[in-house]
Amino acid sequence: MLNESDSDLIFKALAHRRRREILDMLKDAPRTTGMLCEAFADMDRCTVMQHLKVLEEADLVIAKKDGRERWNHLNSLPIKQIHDRWISAYAGHALTILDRLKSDLEG
């Protein structure tokens, strides 16, 4: 079950465009921190690491050391929990309203 402080961390992590871009990359495959730094050449390594730290605190990224490399893996479970708790609960209501509006306009 997702508590409110966990939700806050997840929403904070997802609020920044660069962090969402990192998650998009990790969705395709795990990446080393070096690979992510190369992909975001306009940011210095420290900034990339700060973004990864926020993502780790929200449990959206799991980092594992392999020798000298740090592999970053996407953990999509918190996103699913946000979807189940917030998005799907409100989407059903919105679809009911849109369906009613469509019926009113057609009929």
The domain segmentation of the chain, as residue ranges, is 4-75
Per-residue pLDDT reduced to its tens digit, 72-88: 999 999 999 999 988 88
Topology (CATH) of 4-75: Arc Repressor Mutant, subunit A (1.10.10)
Helix (H, G, I), strand (E, B) or coil at 32: strand
- Which of the four pLDDT bands, split at 50, 70 and 90, describes residue 39? very high
How many whole angstroms separate alpha carbon 11 and alpha carbon 87? Answer: 12
Write down the pLDDT at residue 1: 65
Instruction: Give, in order, the Cα–Cα distances in Å from 95 to each of 62, 104, 105.
Output: 35, 14, 15
Q: What is the mean pLDDT of residues 22-33?
A: 98
Write down the pLDDT at residue 98: 82
pTM of the predicted structure, to 2 decimals: 0.82
**Where are the strands (E) in the chain, listed by range?**
31-32, 61-66, 69-74
Write down the pLDDT at residue 51: 99
